[in-house]
Structure 1
Amino acid sequence: MPANSPDTRTEVNCRRKFLEGCLGAAGTALVASAVSVRVEARDTYQRPPEALGLLYDATLCIGCKACVAACKQANDNPAEFSTTDKLWDTPLDTSGYTFNIIKMYRSGTMATKDDETNGYAFMKTSCMHCADPSCVSACPVTAMTKDPKTGIVAYDAEACVGCRYCVVACPFGIPKYQYDSPTGKIGKCELCRHRYKDGHYSACAEVCPTGATLYGRTSDLLSEAKRRLALKPGSVTTYPRGNLSGGPDQSYEGYVGNYKQHIYGETEYGGTQVLKLSAVDFEKVGMPYLSPNSSASTSETIQHTLYGGLLAPFAVLGVMTYVAKRNVHHEDDAPADEPGKE
């Protein structure tokens, strides 16, 4: 039978349509399988037993910003200016060169400290060292890692490719990129882990004159925070300074503030290793409301479900191939040449 005879063309067309139908059915089945899979989030990771962190007590903070200066010195970061005279380091927020900053809440006449009405209050902003950090989950090259023992969220500039996924992923807006540098990297607090070998700890806690920023094991810090919340406002208590979990006793006596009965970081986002106390509503002082579950637990489950066994890629490829086949013009479909024409 001639290769271009009507019967041959009909047979080829039937075969092609049969294969296209099979391909389309397979693609549809794969997509249906992917959609029908019930996505259940993995459990949110918990803090390591020996996790290290900070307790910031806004009622003890006097806004001296010694912690900001100490952080700059410890990390060899340059000054940043927000005024024209450029006499002082005046960053307005955390950045690639400012890992810790004290912000101020203002209301009305600002007559009374730690009063939501006609008062003012301070709030420390730095990396929270989440138990289940989104920056670590989002990083494609493990430039962001969480130490399994200390729980410190660390950054490796040598591994970083500058994608800035960590910047987008963090619910606290902490990792910042150094846009002014041709070899820019991410800047964030790492609890001064590079100073541990010399017997030091977080510089912000070392220099804080009132103990508003306290360093130690998160479990110890959480116990201390709960102790303070149980005290009567206005009573006298002992406040530790420096390193709660070790080091010389630097405690002093002071008056108990009128705390909000909540420890920020105890449950937010699955828990953080930096805990905070305040007499002013946390949202008013700039801390976001977050659920007890981390975003990383949900996003990773969705990704692993869709891409496990390459289910989703094969499904998408099958559908795309089917659509492409349907829209491609084949020579076999062209009408036979009329007799007498070349």
Structure 2
Amino acid sequence: MNSDLKEFNSAAAFLIDMTKCTGCRGCQVACKQWNQLKGEKTRFFNGEGYQNPPSMSEYTFTRIKFRDYQKNGQNEFAFYKEMCMHCNEPACASVCPVGAFKKTKEGPVVYDAKRCIGCRFCMVACPFGVPKYEWSKAFPLVRKCTGCYSRIREGLKPACATACPSAITYGPRAEMLKEAERRIAARPERYLKKIYGKEEAGGTSVIYLTALPFDELGFKQVTKRSLPSYTWQALRLVPGIFLTVGGSLSLLSWFTHRKERLKKEEEQRQASSHKAKEENQ
């Protein structure tokens, strides 16, 4: 086993057993609370299914997706938790020109807003469609699940894993894979003989078990090959002049974007300080 694989398997991972998910959406609530994400307008049937909000966004980092199906002539529901997959070798990090994304040794793929230039290459590169843009803001950034990195560094579990009463197990990736294999072997009639995330996109820190075919549940079929290898193959075909000019423009955009954002943040701080002084007088 090479050193990279050892590092990936020692990092923490989510084991999500969809046969145990009740669709309570406690994970959604916990995620909203911990990340201080505001609510979104929803409706009972949004066209795609009964899940709400209708999709992940700058305000929704995870959600439970509903899938209805027939079993023994009866209508049944299956649920699965949609979130950032925290890939072992993330495509978002490989295409980011300023290094705003980083795979941590603990497992989560984290994002540094101070580096971001808003190019949105990460949104194009991610095979799972996870990074979302802050379209509602004048100086937008990219938002996504952090894997509760701040909690993990303090020895805590992610908020969603803590809140889930039945379906989410969290621990070292190697142990989660062994546990998934143990459950399949112990209950072959209960589980599809496949662990999603074990090899997809080179392996991820979120792995799933289910009783139904993954494609029927809406899971995306992605290559088992590490995605950054595709990234670099594609970049080799791009003439150097475009990369140079593109890099220069990206750097210029980053300086301008950062300067404007810092100016706005300072104005907001001063306004808050002035308001506080007035209230205390």
Q: Quickly name the TM-score band, shorter chain normalised.
A: 0.7 to 0.9
Mark the runs of 5 or more structure 1 residues left unpaired by the alignment. Answer: 1-44, 113-117, 234-256, 315-342
1:81-92 equivalent positions in 2, closer than 5 A: 81-83=41-43, 90-92=52-54
Say yes or no: does 1:189 pair with 2:154.
no
Q: 1:109 to 1:230 in 2, by over 3 A?
A: closer
Aligned to 1:155: 111
Which residue does 1:7 correspond to in 2?
A: none
TM-score (norm 1): 0.63
Query: Is the aligned partner of 1:142 residue 2:80?
Result: no
Q: 1:109 to 1:48 in 2, by over 3 A?
A: closer
Percent of pairs with identical residues: 39
> Which residue pairs with 1:77 in the alignment?
37
Partner Cα distance (2:73, 2:23) in 1 = 15
Q: CA RMSD in A?
A: 2.7
Q: How many residues align?
A: 235
| Alignment partner of 1:294 is 2:256 | no
| Mapped partners of 2:177, 2:9: distance in 1 | 12
Corresponding position of 1:282: 214
CA contact (8 A) 2:95 2:231 kept: no
Aligned-residue offset at 1:207: 0.9
Q: Deviations over 1:46-78 (max 9, x none)?
A: 462421120100000000000000001111110
One-letter identity of the residue aligned with 1:176? K
Q: Which runs of 5+ in 2 are unaligned?
A: 45-50, 245-281
Aligned equivalents of 1:65 and 1:55: distance in 2? 16
Equivalent-residue separation in structure 1 for 2:62 and 2:219 (angstroms): 15
| TM-score in terms of structure 2 length | 0.76
Q: Which of these residues, 122, 127, 136, is aligned with residue 166 of structure 1? A: 122
In the TM superposition, residue 131 of structure 1 has moved relative to its aligned partner by 1.3
The aligned counterpart of 1:226 is: 181
1:297: how far off?
0.6
Among 60, 67, 74, the residue aligned to 1:105 = 67
| CA spacing shift, 1:199–1:83, aligned 2, 3 Å | same
Secondary structure, aligned partner of 1:77: coil
* CA distance in structure 1 between the aligned counterparts of 2:81 and 2:11, rounded to whole angstroms: 20
273-282 vs 295-304, which moves further = 295-304
- Please name the residue that 2:47 is paired with: none
1:131 to 74, 83, 88: 88
SS of 1:48's equivalent? Answer: helix
1:267 offset after TM fit, Å? 0.8
Which protein has the bigger helix share? 2
| CA displacement, residues 190-215 of structure 1 (integer Å, 9 cap, x when unaligned) | 110112344422111101111x0111
Judge conservation of contact 2:109–2:146 (CA < 8 Å) in 1: yes
Distance 1:91 1:304, change over 3 A: same
Q: Could you tell me how far 1:108 is from its partner in structure 2?
A: 4.6
Residue pairs, 1:46-57, within 5 angstroms: 46=5, 48-57=8-17
1:214 equivalent to 2:169? Answer: yes
Q: Could you say if the C-alpha distance between residues 197 and 131 of structure 1 is closer, same or farther in structure 2, counting changes exceeding 3 Å?
A: closer
Flag the structure with larger Rg: 1
Provide the C-alpha distance between the structure 1 equivalents of 2:234 and 2:114, rounded to a whole number of angstroms: 29
Distance change >3 Å, CA 224–CA 133, structure 1 → 2: same
Deviations 1:226-267 (A, max 9, x none): 00000135xxxxxxxxxxxxxxxxxxxxxxx71100000011
Distance 1:111 1:201 in 2: 40
**Which whole-Å CA distance do the structure 1 matches of 2:163 and 2:34 have between them?**
11
Counterpart amino acid of residue 187 in structure 1: R
Aligned partner letter, 1:133: P
Structure-2 change in CA distance of 1:187 and 1:306 (3 Å) = closer
Cα separation, partners in 2 of 1:82 and 1:273, compared to 1, 3 Å = same
Q: Tell me the equivalent position of 1:58.
A: 18
- Residue 8 of structure 2 aligns to a residue whose secondary structure is coil
Deviation at 1:272, TM superposition (A): 0.7
